[in-house]
A and B are shown apart, each in its own frame.
Chain A
């Protein structure tokens, strides 16, 4: 080995390890290339580096790692006290017990979410009028009663003044078309609301409702859907997961009457529904029963008649009346504000007749009123939740167990609906999907095969003629959509059933099926058109008021075809309504029947000025 140390050796090392400056690299490389001694040395060192590359990288003992970490954490422990929300959240999540509990809650919530058909982006069925809601309506009714000419007394007032036995009798009254349409309209409002808000809106609204119920007390909790829901309710106030469980508050509100004993001593004899005495299968059965009741409230009529009828008051439709003053200032839109300045608009035909046409004239504008419906729905949901929170303490707690008891027997029928799969069309045979729902229209493909549609006796011929024409116009795009195989496969069973019923001319059954569709599905491309169809069925039944409300909802759709159809029908029906308003006797008998229906709750919007 030469002891001579050439001056380039340091630079050669830099070149070998890449530490030479970029501007010197080329000159040095050129020097190495021209000098065989330097080139040989560089090659020899490179071979050493290649030899070193064969050595495996030694691995330390994992135990050392943990020892070091433990020591480091102990050293940092005094300064690592939880600071702020993030530290608290981290410690909470890091806790295995909480993590396991959270996972269970999430799993249960996810199961419930998908079993309720949330995967379609639709809302839970919230239209079930709980006793709390009825209590809220009762207060509104009281205020309404102070007005010069009150409408029919609300049921909530009757409930307050009526002993429980009498109330049960009232509940036993079968639901009529009015209640059915109220439930349908409520479901449609929920779809509209949720379609505009998305999932986040769902959570927020559910949280509000849950908060309102939590403010009331423990009776808002309870298990309604098995263990997962029980966990969710137990952890209602713990973080985001619990807020998700609050979304189901309306349903659990009912379930709470079953699962949890009333905090106040119940004068009635024990019903055997004590949570502690109840075996788990019975609890699950009750939960399913309550779901059934819950859906039943939306649907308006029970299937099979095995179980008790739902609460007779369906408060939803009054929320959908366009032109009503908005409940909350932050949700208020300009058209609503104008409508408020014009005064409250009566909802029922009777109210319309009393208050006459100034406000209804605003409704006749059609498009404006229809466009405001979605915002109306949002505001009214907010108001509803706020009213729950406000009036929670006033609700009489005795009326819940009775509802739960009545809902108990039905279990098995709900299971299929709750699993998220579309219920099989058992009541009606599967319709020919290529024909479509509007086969009764003049242009329908199998119109001849369908039985003749029963002519509503009280419906004016002009209305019916217009309805038939609309059927024909709606038939074309709908039939075209149904030609697609994918959409045929994606048509929900209730919608198919409803359309089959329409094809048969059984509009009552069609309305019921549409209710199931609205309560279980939504947000799809057939939703808006299905509202038109449902409205057509209502027209066929002579219920122009419900039809008009559905048309207004459909007028807010994004589908131009649906919107155009809805606006035309709104204009036609409003025109007809104005004509009928003057001679009261000329109104359809169905409208009169609706006015005589027991459920005539006050519009929710009438509370708005007081709140503001």
Chain B
């Protein structure tokens, strides 16, 4: 009985520790700390990978490979670095490798600058519009499927930024560190992603549920 109480007490104490502290514990050999880390980030990382590569089986493989790399490279982790940044960096690299192997990058990014100026005009700026045509609308009857398709229509750079900010709740600054570009570039990609998604879902705007208001409350004030 005392053993159960002690274990419960210890587990509750572990639950309150930060990711970095848990990682440090795992570096010291505490497998339970890694179990907690896995429980915290497993679904988020899988969501990120799945929305990036849109293949469930491959996403599972990449998820496993991502955390296995964490396990293997745990000794090199420095607690000064943010664990989520490190973790998403590993996952993103896995996604990039997988996308390369799958030749998913067959087309240039729409927001990729056309000239040497990184802030110059992009391909998207030259396109008249990316609105989903009528025949595409007839292919899917469910909004969810259409949203998935709209998300898939984004470029990898836009999608990764959008997924990280929209689904993974990473801040623009963290995404910039993770991707390795400036925060303005991240915001630019995000803006393009939002515009493309808006255009892709324009025909479904009336059918979208209004239950979830994404605008933060303090912003509404």
Docked Cα-Cα span, A92 to B2, in Å, equals 11
Q: Does A18 contact B (CB under 8 A)?
A: yes
Do residues B63 and A60 form an inter-chain contact, with CB atoms below 8 A?
Answer: yes
A sample of 29 cross-chain residue pairs with beta-carbon separation below 8 angstroms, ordered by A number, consists of A1-B195, A5-B191, A9-B191, A10-B187, A13-B191, A13-B194, A16-B214, A20-B219, A29-B221, A44-B194, A44-B198, A47-B208, A48-B197, A50-B212, A53-B212, A54-B143, A54-B147, A54-B208, A55-B147, A58-B59, A59-B46, A60-B42, A61-B60, A68-B38, A72-B26, A80-B29, A80-B30, A90-B7, A93-B4
Q: Mark B43-79, 1 if CB is under 8 A from A, else 0.
A: 1001100110000100110011001100110100000
Q: Mark A5-37, 1 if CB is under 8 A from B, else 0.
A: 100011001111111101001100100000000
By a CB distance below 8 angstroms, the chain A residues around B60 are: 60-61, 64
Residues of A within 8 A of B197 (CB): 48, 51-52
Smallest CB gap from B163: residue in A: A52
Q: Check B215 for interface membership: any CB of A closer than 8 A.
A: yes
Question: How far does the alpha carbon of A390 sit from the alpha carbon of B88 in the complex, in Å?
Answer: 67
Minimum CB distance partner of A90 in chain B: B7
Asked if A449 is at the interface of the complex by the 8 Å CB criterion, the answer is: no
* A76 at the binding interface (Cβ < 8 Å): yes
Interface, chain B (partner A; CB < 8 A): 1-4, 6-7, 10, 26, 28-31, 34-35, 38, 42-43, 46-47, 50-51, 56, 59-60, 63-64, 67-68, 71-72, 74, 121, 124-125, 129, 143-144, 147-148, 150-151, 165-167, 171-172, 184, 187-188, 190-191, 194-195, 197-199, 201, 204-205, 208-216, 218-221
Q: Mark A76-116, 1 if CB is under 8 A from B, else 0.
A: 11111100001001101100000000100010000000000
Q: Is the CB of B219 within 8 A of A69?
A: no
Asked whether A58 and B50 contact (CB < 8 A) given A52-B147, A72-B71, A90-B6, the answer is yes
Q: How far is the CB of A241 from chain B (nearest CB, A)?
A: 7
Q: What residues of chain A lie closer than 8 Å to B28, measured between beta carbons?
A: 79
Give the total number of A-B pairs whose CB atoms are below 8 A apart.
179
Chain A residue contacts of B165, Cβ below 8 A: 17
Bitwise interface map of A from 60 to 78 toward B, beta carbon under 8 Å scored 1, else 0:
1100110111011101111
* Nearest Cβ on chain A to B113's Cβ, whole angstroms: 13
Interface pair A59/B208, CB less than 8 Å apart: no
Query: Are A60 and B201 in contact, CB atoms less than 8 angstroms apart?
Result: no
Kindly state the separation between the CA atoms of A198 and B72 in the bound complex, as whole angstroms.
53
Quick one: closest A residue to B129, CB to CB?
Answer: A1
Lowest 7 CB-CB distances: which A-B pairs, in order?
A: A79-B29, A49-B214, A18-B216, A93-B3, A53-B212, A60-B46, A76-B31
Assess the B166–A52 pair: CB atoms within 8 A.
yes
Closest-CB distance, A245 to chain B (whole angstroms): 13
- In the complex, which residues of chain B have a beta carbon less than 8 angstroms from the beta carbon of A69? 31, 34-35, 38
Minimum C-beta distance from B207 to chain A (A): 9
Q: Is B67 a contact partner of A13 (Cβ separation < 8 A)? A: no
Within 352-366 of A, Cβ neighbours of B (below 8 Å) are at none
The CA-CA distance from A102 to B4 in the complex, in Å, is 11
Is the CB of A564 closer than 8 A to any CB of chain B? Answer: no
Assess whether A240 is interfacial by the CB under 8 Å rule. Answer: yes
Given the known interface contacts A92-B3, A241-B1, the answer about A57 and B47 at a Cβ–Cβ threshold of 8 Å is: yes
Q: Is the CB of B144 within 8 A of A68?
A: no
